[in-house]
A and B are shown apart, each in its own frame.
Chain A
Amino acid sequence: MSPALRQVLVVLLCTCGLVTLTGQINHVLAPAALTLEVAGLLVAFAGLRLDFRRALIIAFVTGLWVDASAPVVFGRHAFLYALAVCMLARFRARLPREETFVGVVAALFINLAVFVLAGFLDLGTLPDSSAGGLRLLADLGASQLFVALIGPWFFACQIQALRIAGASPTSHTRRYA
């Protein structure tokens, strides 16, 4: 198996694992009427560290994985995640993208953007849009806190998984003698 394919599969395994883990946390949080959204973490590592084409495949397939059990148009999350990767590809050359801190900040921004975009797409379906705002705000706050808390762990988890699989991403850090 080529290292490129191994990279895609390993990162996909990690993102699908995170989707499952978040699903379980949301299951536990259901009585409190709070929902966590981790879209930013699902695409930030691939978008910042991997080749654009591989990152796009990972984002798209992860989106389809999320879409499979959501009552939305099939492919919606896939395109939102793919759009996030495209945005990252535009800016990543100017960022110290191997820094975990940068990754977490990028994840927070993507999370916010996906949340707002999905909110705009669906706001009309709520029977009372104004009352929905409070719930969305609470969900967003909890999600951002969760992403900031587990972000460093999830980045480290993906790096270690790639190292074990022998498919570590190429380093782009400039080293000076």
Chain B
Amino acid sequence: MRFDQARPFFTLGVILLAWLLLPAVVKRFVRLSFYELKAPVDIAASYAGDLQDFWSQKTRTNNELISAARDLAAINASYELRIREDNRLRTEISRLEELLRLPSYGEFRSEPARVVRRDFNAWWQRIIIRKGRNHGILAGSPVIYSGGLAGRVVEVHATTSVVELISSPGLRLAAVFDGDDRPVSFQGGVNPPLRPAQGLLEFVPLDLFATAASPRALVTSGLGGVFPPGLTVGQVVQLDASTDGLFKTGRVQIDDRLGRLTEVTVLVPLDPSVVTPADAAP
């Protein structure tokens, strides 16, 4: 190979070397600058989508609106009942905590946020939400949606935050079967095409059973992490003995609404020390 033919690769090698020698702080600064430069583009697209929805809603007839309002009134009535029930249960929990001298669960502030972009591929499953440091979002905060636990905040920027979803292979958490108190390990799985997201289970006790015909609900355990207990993770649809025979491994079917998220709620801990830097991704 003549030198003039190898010159492009030589140039690339020089750039690679220079890039590797560049201090990490400079790379971080460049990355953040690029991200913040890119964020308004995604946010603008998100607002354009909202506007599009608004105008498509404007085409609805009065009859459709009246029908929707009637449905909404019924839903609101049921929510009011649940709020009362919720208050009663909270009082009961406080009373029992006091009586048994138990440490209280972490307190959270709810911060609803619109989803700007869903970024799902084989390697990671993340969403970008339209709230960030300016709204007091903390890295490591749990994120929920109507189907249960959505994931946790891994990056916080000025006006946006990045949430790693529970279907992402990089996310692990301690969970329990609904009605059982022994923790199992949950990890986001490989998400097959044209099917809902899945997760993997490890260290399941041998006396627990679940099949596709009789699935068991999996909920957060509240152990070792910021996730409050009792949030739905998914449905365990398969359990097989692991190779060592000591535990079972399994497959968790995650609610397919996770793939269509448009709005989530960030549970921001009132005590920021609850979310340690280790809870957030690098």
Residues in chain A within 8 A of chain B (CB atoms): 16, 20, 23-24, 26-27, 30-35, 52, 56, 60, 64-65, 67-71, 74-75, 78-79, 82-83, 85-86, 89-90, 122, 125-128, 131-132, 134-136, 138-139
Closest A residue to B13 by beta carbon equals A86
Within the complex, the shortest CB–CB distance from B50 to chain A, in Å, comes to 13
- Select which of A89, A90, A132 is within 8 A of B122 by beta carbon: A132
Within 8 A of A (CB), among B170-208: 170, 187-197, 200
Q: A30-B118, A125-B170, A135-B122 are in contact. Are A20 and B45 (CB under 8 A)?
A: yes
SS of B interface (majority) = mixed
User: Once the chains bind, are A26 and B120 in contact (CB under 8 Å)?
Assistant: yes
Cα distance A16–B42 when bound, in Å?
A: 12
Given contacts A30-B260, A64-B34, contact A125 B169 (CB under 8 A): yes
Q: A30-B260, A71-B281, A75-B19 are in contact. Are A135 and B34 (CB under 8 A)?
A: no
CB pair B122–A136 under 8 Å, yes or no, is: yes
Hey, which chain B residues are within 8 Å of A27, CB to CB? 117-119
19 additional A-B pairs beyond A33-B191, A74-B27, A89-B8, beta carbons within 8 Å, are A23-B42, A24-B45, A27-B119, A31-B259, A31-B260, A35-B120, A52-B11, A64-B30, A64-B34, A65-B38, A70-B124, A71-B170, A125-B123, A127-B188, A128-B200, A132-B190, A134-B192, A134-B193, A138-B193
Please give the distance in Å from A88's CB to the nearest CB on chain B: 9
Partner of A90, one of B5, B35, B154: B5
Asked if residues B193 and A74 are in contact (CB atoms below 8 Å), the reply is no
Tell me, in angstroms, the Cα distance from A70 to B120 when the chains sit together.
11
Evaluate contact between A26 and B118: CB separation under 8 angstroms: yes
Would you give the shortest CB distance from B168 to chain A, in whole angstroms? 9
Residues of B103-127 at the interface with A, using a CB-CB cut-off of 8 Å, are 117-124, 126
Instruction: Please measure, in the bound complex, the distance between the C-alpha atom of A42 and the C-alpha atom of B30, giving whole angstroms.
Output: 20
Residues of B contacting A60 with CB < 8 Å?
15
